Every structure is written in C-alpha cells, then in structure tokens.
Amino acid sequence: MRSITLLTYFMATIWLPLVHMAVAEGTRFRGPCLGQEMPGYRPRAFAPALFSPWGDYGFHVVTSAVFAPDGRKLFFTNQVLPSINGRSCSILFMERIGDLWTDPRPVPFSSEYSDSGIFFSPDGRVAYFNSTRPARKGGRSKDADIWAVHKVAQGWSEAERLASVINGPFEDVGGGVTLDNTLFFSSNRPGGRGSFDIYSAQIAEASAEDVQSLGEVVNTSAAEYVVCIAPDSRFLIFCRSESPDEVDRRLYITFRGSDNMWTAAKTLGDHVTALNASGGSICPDGKYLFVLGQGRGMYWLRIGLIDYLKDNDLGVSDVLLNSYLENNMGAALQTYKKLMRMHERYINIDESLLNEMGYRLLDAGKITDAIALLSIVAAVYPDSWNAFDSLGEAYMKAGDAEAAKMCYRRSLRLNPANQNAVDVLLELDSK
C-alpha cells in the first residue's frame, strides 16, 4: 500500500482541522521566510497553511515559491481549477511590511492569459516570467513565451516580450539568469534531442548564434526544463520528465567544471524525488533551496545538500537496484546498511521512502524494477505488513497471481486487520 495513503486519514481528521482553526483565528505570517522553522538537509514543509493542498487558502500551486532578491516579497503561481487552456495560471505575491506579510494578491503586471514561473535577475531589477499573452496588444493568444518587467519608481514597467531569437514560434519558457546576464531557458524548437531541451543565451542583443543547447550531457530524448541556476552558474537544477504524462519526473543537478563543461547530471536524491518534485528556487541569501512537490506542497532544505551532491549520489533506490540485479539480495542488504551509514545526515532511507520509490516505478510502467526494489524493502523490513502488501500489488501488475497471493497472505499474517489483503485474496481465489 502506498505510504501517502496511510497519511490520508491523519491529514483529513487531525492536521486539516488544525490548519482551518489556525487560519480562522487570524494566523498571519511574520518575520523572515514567513517565520518558518529553519530546515536541515532533509526537506521540511514550508508554510503548509499556505501551500499545502490541505491548506485553507485553496491554492493549487504549480511553481516553486520564489523570493525576490531583497527577501521581502514572495511569489508563486496559482492555477485555477478546472483548468482552461492558456488562461488558468496567475502569479501571486506577498509583501513583508514591517514584520507582517500581506495576504497573496495578483502581481500588477498580470494579464487575462496564463502567467507563470517568475524568476529574477540577480540584482532584482528585472523580473522574468512565462506568459501566453499576445505578442502585441489586441493580438491573439499564443504559445508560452518569456516576458520581462523592470523595476521603476512606481513599481514595475509594462511587460515586454524578450527578443525573437529567444522567443520563437514555439514554446519557450524560463528559466534563470546569471550574473553575466545569461538566460537559461527551455524550448521545444526544432533541432532538440527531446520534446523540450535546455538552452542558454545572452539576453542583451542576442543573435541566433548566441542561443546554445546545453548538449547531450543535459539534454536527452526526454523533456528537460530549467528549474533554477546559481547566480555564478556553478550549478544548474532542472526537471527531467521521461514520459508525456510526467509520472516519471525528477529533479536533477549538473555542475559546471573548471573547463566550463557541464558534468553528468544526477538526481537531487530520492527524498526529493519522492515528493513528486517539479520546481525549485534558491533563497536570496543562498542558504536554502525551495522545492515544489506537486500535490504535496512546498518544501525547503539547506543548500549544503548541493555541495554534498558533488561527490555523492543520493539516488539510493537506483544504487540498491543495481546492487541486487548485478549481484544478489545479500549484496543489496549490505549496500543498504552502507548507504544508511554514509548518508544519514542528508537522507532518511526508511521503509516509507523506498516504498514510495517502488510505487513511482510501478506508475512509470517499470514493473520488473518495481518488484526488485519492493523485494528489497520486504527483505529489509520482514515484519512490515505494508511492505508485503506493496510487493503483492507489484506482482498483481506483473500478472503473477501466485506470487501476489504469497505476499498478501504474509501481509495478512503480520496484520490481520489489513482489509486490502483480505479483499484482494478473495478476488484472486475466486478466479
């Protein structure tokens, strides 16, 4: 059984009423970073009363929280449901006045079309965002392009569409800007390796020759989207989606070496992947990384994780799978113990995490790998009824009824109250 399912009852009966009560009593956000408790190297929920899907504000957040460089404004994209193609998303912001944060409201450069994904120049003088608004007033809505507004005395300038060499007749979305005014963005323009590739270009007076693909070390046959980039461009975080339905979506990081080349990409770690992470941003002080977990809420963690990833791999489920498939279960169990000791400061490699990663493999149709990983979970946690329930479900998807029965019977012995196992066994025995 998926671990998130086990949380549903708690969220609905205990956590959600508490959030409703807090908001109803006039809880307001105060102080730096909305007054939230500082995280460690593992993701911590950020302002769940505001960003969680169980929160009382009713937001469906589709991009990461982004602080303006001065730290006194916070931006995010909200999607109105049911979705209307090209007209559903809007950028909202909150402002810290004194010690108190205002309620979210639309940015002054909003349009009647979809606006999303705001990001800033390092000095905060320019805000960039994606929009489906027409290139000219009175024109027709088009594919998403990258637009910019500049800080002026009375707030923000009129929105301007970036140059046509960046915004072509295809989907072009941001992004991030570095100290040398280089824009990193994603596009489905012809000539790419996948449905979306990542490119870079100088914003000022860019020519067609200036638009450069980041190459095969980053771009693959999948879709890659820029999430954020360090101001000095020492690392780039991006989202890679292996399938059109985005069930196999992960955040990756690549580092820029002394030779100015990008290193082979690696995931931010299973503890981030398990959040169904799709977006992120860097806190203005450079100390924290924000991550959006689609359908989960906003999270943040210490930026020190990035430095750790230079020489370490926190995609632990892949490491365990390789150890099992290339050797045997004994080797996988030894690898598990080694990973626990090595990475305990940065990731909690527990049953819940590995179980969720197994389900992600199932969702992506990688059933053989899912069975292998969930078998490891059952071996590490032999007294867990849920581990065998999950493994039984994987065998069911593989069409192996006998193996599924063995797992569900084991789960039922460990937990006679597991009604799911009872129901599935009745169904299997009736065939």
Same domain, 282 and 326: no
One domain, residues 257 and 178? yes
> What pLDDT, on a 0 to 100 scale, did the predictor assign at position 154?
86
What band does 17 get if pLDDT is binned at 50, 70 and 90? Answer: very low
| Residue 155, phi-psi category: left (phi > 0), alpha (psi -120 to 50), beta (remainder) | left
Is 399 in the same domain as 383? yes
The model's pTM: 0.90
Q: Which string of DSSP letters, residue by residue, matches 26-69?
A: T---BSGGGGPPPP-SS-EE-SHHHHSTTSSS---B-S--EE-T
Average pLDDT, the chain: 90
In the predicted structure, residue 22 carries a pLDDT above the cut 60 = no
Question: Which tens digit of pLDDT belongs to each residue from 233-273?
Answer: 999 999 999 876 666 789 999 999 889 899 999 999 999 99
| 326-368 confidence digits (pLDDT tens) | 999 999 999 999 999 999 999 999 999 999 999 999 999 999 9
**pLDDT tens profile 73-109:** 999 999 887 666 667 899 999 999 999 999 999 999 9
Whether residue 13 has pLDDT greater than 70: no
Tell me, yes or no, whether 232 and 344 share the same domain. Answer: no
Sequence-separated (6 or more) residues with CB below 8 Å from residue 385? 411, 412, 414, 415, 418, 421
Question: Sorting pLDDT into bands at 50, 70 and 90, what band is 206?
Answer: low
Are 327 and 382 found together in one domain?
Answer: yes
Residue 148 near residue 162 (C-beta atoms within 8 A): yes
| Same domain as 121, residue 24 | yes
Burial (Cβ within 10 Å: 0-12, 13-18, ≥19) of residue 37 = exposed
Q: Are 233 and 178 in contact (CB under 8 A)?
A: yes
- pLDDT-based confidence at residue 14 (cuts at 50, 70, 90): very low
How high is the pLDDT of residue 56?
63
> What CATH number should be reported for the domain holding residue 56?
2.120.10.30
Residue where one domain finishes, among candidates 245, 276, 311: 311
Here the CATH number for the domain that contains residue 390 is 1.25.40.10
- 235-241 sheet: strands from edge to edge: 223-229, 235-241, 249-255, 266-267
Whether 90 and 229 map to the same domain: the answer is yes
Q: Is the pLDDT of residue 204 over 90?
A: no
Q: Which of 280, 311, 342 is the last residue of a domain?
A: 311
Residues 183, 101: one domain? Answer: yes
Which region among 3-7, 40-44, 149-153, 375-379 has the lowest average model confidence (pLDDT)? 3-7
Residue 296 sits in the same domain as residue 355: no
Predicted local confidence at residue 10, as pLDDT: 38
**Are residue 376 and residue 424 in the same domain, yes or no?**
yes
Are 235 and 310 contacting, i.e. CB atoms less than 8 angstroms apart?
A: no
Looking at the fold, whether 307 and 352 belong to one and the same domain comes out as no
- Choose the final residue of a domain: 279, 311, 343: 311
Per-residue pLDDT at 26 exceeds 80: no
- Percent of residues, the chain, with pLDDT higher than 90: 77
Residue, of 28 and 181, whose pLDDT is higher: 181
| One domain, residues 215 and 346 | no
Find the domain containing 386 and state its range: 318-429
pLDDT digits (tens, 9 = 90+) for 373-394: 999 999 999 999 999 999 999 9
Domains in the chain, number: 2
Name the 3-class secondary structure at 73: strand
| Mean pLDDT of the region 8-34 | 55
Helix (H) or strand (E) holding 105: strand 105-106
DSSP 178-225: -TT-EEEEEE--TT-SSSSEEEEEESTT--GGG-EE--TTT--SSEEE
